[in-house]
Amino acid sequence: MRGRAEALRRLADETWDVLVIGGGITGAGVALDAASRGLRTALVERDDFAAGTSSRSSKFVHGGLRYLRSRDYGLVAQSVAEQRRLLRNAPHLVRPMAMRLPVAGGARRLVTGALLFTHDLAAGTGISRPVDGGIVFHEAQVDDARLTLAVLRTAVLDHGAVAVNACPVVAVDGEGVTVASGATARARVVVNAAGPWAEGVRALAGPGQAGPRLRPTKGVHVVVARERVPVLGDRCGLAVPDGRGAFAFVAPWEGRVIVGTTDTPYDGGAVECTDHDVELLLSKVNRALDDPLTPDDVLGSWAGLRPLVEGGDGRTELARRHLVAAGHEGMVTVVGGKLTTYRRMAADAVDVVCARLGRRIPCRTARLPIRGAGTGEGRLWLRYGTEAAGVERLGLGRPLVPGLPYLQGEAVWAVREEMALTLEDVLSRRTRATILDARAAAAAAPGVAALLAPELGWDEAETRRQVDGYLATTPSSR
């Protein structure tokens, strides 16, 4: 996917039916839904694709265990349906994962067992079963940043959309948007998919725009070595009830173990995983582990903001836990929801867009394969699917970061085919080196920058700047 200059030219020259602000999973989903309905579609992202919340989730494609507890069966059904679709449409990226839930005996175990059995049956991910002291049920796992990118690349490469990263929108008016370079893009409908920043983007269009108020909360995760939690199988995690209807969890991922998550109020400022967050998180899960984890075990961490919706106004249309809001003149805002339900969110939003355009075109994404979809084996296949052969053909089979499974060829592919523009794009989102082992990634950063320099035309000063920028913004040790 070379051709950023061409994408920027098209963005400015053409008139778009839909222009999407925000390149997280919601924006990527809207772009794919709109483009696959035949609408002329563009998307602009201020940072990198998935740099916001969509690379910072727990990486579950949820059936909705939490909502079973709160008896929100409608939401469970929606999540399970979307989980099933994702397993079918992106089988190379989404994989079932068994989870063990501790449940005491008696009536409670019977009821929970029956609910989880129904849940698993509907999802088609596996069959739940009682085990000593608990029940094993099934979720699915995904690399959130790669799913976002794959959805977006499907929109661009297979359905003709244009997508540009590092392109912040600074103003919105009735004609379209203005981006930071001063260039304008004309659009009939603007969709605000800026996640936790949606209120800020709405303000760019001036007062009077319809849309919900957001009250984001912060969630952190840490990564530890696989050997530190020997109770887990390769494809089995542990759900840890917190006694208040929510769950912490410990789950294998990419050869390591993810521990998550917290849910604390966010009052602005840097979105980072503090020492206090780590202590809070470990105290949640340690009661379920024989050998407690300590902060010294932490190899990597991340923090994200949940774009939670506080409430609506007279013109909002509540669609489960996500909201599509459309003012008479203004843009269409789509917020809330979760990674798992992005397709449904996008479909609801593009229905509103179509109504605004006066066109009736049905949604086509329910059975639409995500780029790379197919069945195969091997580590590269599980990240690139049918495109794995393209990565292999580059012939750069040396490790990118010592101790991690990524190859140099993946970094070059990221620049040539996946719109990576910076060292951080490559180490944090096209590969997940930063969160799997922050110190190893920091140590490898100069070598990776040297590999990327000829691809991206960096001179010595720019290469140094990339390394310094990466080291300054990513936590290299805890």
- Summarize as ranges the residues that interact with ligand FAD (CB under 6 A): 21-27, 44-47, 51-54, 56-60, 62, 168-169, 193-197, 201, 219, 261, 304-307, 337-340
Count CA within 13 A, CB hemisphere, residue 230.
3
Q: Least distance (Å) from ligand FAD to the CB of residue 15?
A: 19
Residue number with CB closer to ligand FAD (134 or 195):
195
Angle at the Cα of 149 from the Cα atoms of 465 and 178, rounded to 5 degrees: 70
Any residues with CB less than 8 A from the CB of 292 and at least 6 apart, and which?
Answer: 282, 286
Q: Least distance (Å) from ligand FAD to the CB of residue 247?
A: 11
Q: Least distance (Å) from ligand FAD to the CB of residue 110?
A: 28
Residue number with CB closer to ligand FAD (44 or 445):
44
Residue number with CB closer to ligand FAD (211 or 337):
337
Q: Least distance (Å) from ligand FAD to the CB of residue 452?
A: 22
Residue number with CB closer to ligand FAD (61 or 401):
61
Residue number with CB closer to ligand FAD (166 or 354):
166
Q: Least distance (Å) from ligand FAD to the CB of residue 132?
A: 27
Residue number with CB closer to ligand FAD (82 or 120):
82
Q: How far apart are CA 139 and CA 137, in angstroms?
A: 7
Q: How far apart are CA 298 and CA 312, in angstroms?
A: 40
Residue number with CB closer to ligand FAD (62 or 343):
62
Q: What are phi and psi of 408, to 5 degrees?
A: -60, -35
Q: Which residues is 448 bridged to in the sheet? A: none
Nearest to 21 by CA among 268, 203, 277: 203
Q: Least distance (Å) from ligand FAD to the CB of residue 148?
A: 7
Place of tokens 């998935």: 50
Q: How far apart are CA 333 and CA 310, in angstroms?
A: 14
Q: Least distance (Å) from ligand FAD to the CB of residue 129?
A: 23
Show the beta-strand stretches assigned E in 54-133. 60-61, 95-102, 129-131
Show the beta-strand stretches assigned E in 1-94. 15-21, 41-44, 60-61
Q: How far apart are CA 474 and CA 441, in angstroms?
A: 10
